[in-house]
Amino acid sequence: MKKIEEFNSRKNRKIEHIKFYLKSEHENSTLFEDIYLEHNALPELSFEDINTKTLFLNKKVDYPIMINAITGGTDFSQEINRQLSCIASEFNIPIAVGSQTIALYDEKSRESFKVVRKIMKDGVVIGNLGSTATVEEAKVAIDMIEADALQLHLNVAQELVMNEGDRDFKGILNNIENIVKNINKPLIVKEVGFGISKDVAKRLNDIGVSYIDISGSGGTNFIEIEGIRRDDIDFTDLYSWGIPTALSLIKCIAVNKNLNIIASGGIKSSQDIVKSLCIGASMVGISGEILKRLLEGGYDLAYNYIEGLTHKLKILMLLLGKKDIEELTKTPYKVKGELKELI
Ligand code: FNR
């Protein structure tokens, strides 16, 4: 009986996250506006020369843009995952599912995750669990969707604002080390919108984690989303918490050149994507902006959004005189304003 109640409350929470994401309105800055890229008036390239293909998790993808973790576990989530997978498959870009925790013990909810692999065929599909998962659970989550990698999310700020959230965060690093050493797929450790500091990236790198998704602040804000779910405490004074995405990215890139850094958190525009790649990200993740379009404007609006980003990525590459992603990631950039101060 307790298990059923737990499943139901988890399912309700998933739906509320989406509902309250749409209601959230506080905006922090990613500080990407403080990155300056120089225009090249003599690129000596034609638009057709621009190659946006890249290798990610040992598979070829057409663009360094991914649909990041959002949902799963309910019929509503299944439909969202189905539509997002169709878009990811059309553009041959990676997609991550939302937390699979519910599906570990509730067989009925597995279809809402499996649909992603069915539609993506051989494309890049990434699993997702919380960082307290066991090795056994990690293996089940990977097998469930034949995942190319598993994301483990760090969401301390979110848990602390949730009434029913965790309060004990001891032993997480050891647990991640145990998982990274005992699964046969790459592990991606990710935040959910508050950023990864240089020190945390180093500690993760030291235990063998080679993929970090920084998911910084400037986009989806789980302090606000969870705050709206509560009526006993006003959390508005914490809404500005977090490491801006551009700052987190610059700091984490400096840790180790062999570390693969995924930029996410507040990615909205093609300039955000290009700036992330110039700083050195190997992939750029989007959750909130595509979800908003899908829910408010339907499949076509979400599809057009990604189509526009891919087209403008090519335009910007040409304007920088860079013919492929490898060249793009070596583009010099200047830092100004608040971002410069924080660095
Ligand atoms: C998320 N995110 C998320 N992350 C994760 O690791 N597991 C999850 O289950 C979810 N669930 C989820 C639900 C909803 C409705 C949203 C909008 C987001 C976090 C997401 O992957 C990402 O890290 C942050 O949202 C920051 O990126 P954006 O949204 O600013 O692009």
Per-residue pLDDT, 1: 45
Pairing status of strand 211-213 against strand 187-190: parallel
User: Structural domain of residue 97, as residue ranges?
Assistant: 2-342
Among 76, 128, 225, 287, residue to substitute to test ligand 1 (most atoms within 8 Å of Cβ): 287
Summarised one tens digit per residue, pLDDT across range 78-115 is 999 999 999 999 999 999 999 999 999 999 999 999 99
* 154 contact partners, CB below 8 Å, separation of at least 6: 131, 172, 189, 190, 191, 192, 196
Query: Is 288 near ligand 1, meaning CB less than 6 Å away?
Result: yes
Residues annotated in the binding site for Mg(2+), as ranges?
159
Query: Side chain identity at 181, as an amino acid letter?
Result: K
Per-residue pLDDT, 231: 87
Query: Is 214 near ligand 1, meaning CB less than 6 Å away?
Result: no
Query: Is 245 near ligand 1, meaning CB less than 6 Å away?
Result: no
Backbone dihedral region for residue 298 (phi beyond 0: left; psi -120 to 50: alpha; all else: beta):
left
Query: Is 69 near ligand 1, meaning CB less than 6 Å away?
Result: yes
Interface predicted TM-score (ipTM) of this complex, two decimals: 0.99
Query: Is 282 near ligand 1, meaning CB less than 6 Å away?
Result: no
Mean pLDDT for the stretch of residues 147-170: 96
Residue 4 has pLDDT above 70, yes or no: no
Residue 8 has pLDDT above 80, yes or no: no
Enumerate the β-bridge partners of residue 60.
55
Per-residue pLDDT, 2: 52
* 8 contact partners, CB below 8 Å, separation of at least 6: none
Query: Is 127 near ligand 1, meaning CB less than 6 Å away?
Result: no
Q: What is the mean pLDDT of the chain?
A: 96
Mean pLDDT for the stretch of residues 171-184: 98
Per-residue pLDDT, 117: 98
Per-residue pLDDT, 12: 86
Q: Look at the chain and report how many structural domains it folds into.
A: 1
Query: Whose C-alpha lies nearest to ligand 1, atom 27?
Result: 265
Q: How many angstroms is it from 121 CA to the middle of ligand 1?
A: 23
Q: Are 153 and 69 in contact (CB under 8 A)?
A: yes
Summarised one tens digit per residue, pLDDT across range 260-278 is 999 999 999 999 999 999 9
Query: Whose C-alpha lies nearest to ligand 1, atom 12?
Result: 70
- Characterize 198-235 residue by residue with b for buried, 16 or more Cβ atoms within 10 angstroms of its Cβ, and e for exposed: bebbeebbeeebebbbbbbbbbbbbbbbbbebeeeeee
Per-residue pLDDT, 183: 98
Per-residue pLDDT, 148: 98
CA angle (11 as vertex; 157, 306 as ends), nearest 5 = 75
- The enclosing domain of 203 has a CATH number of 3.20.20.70
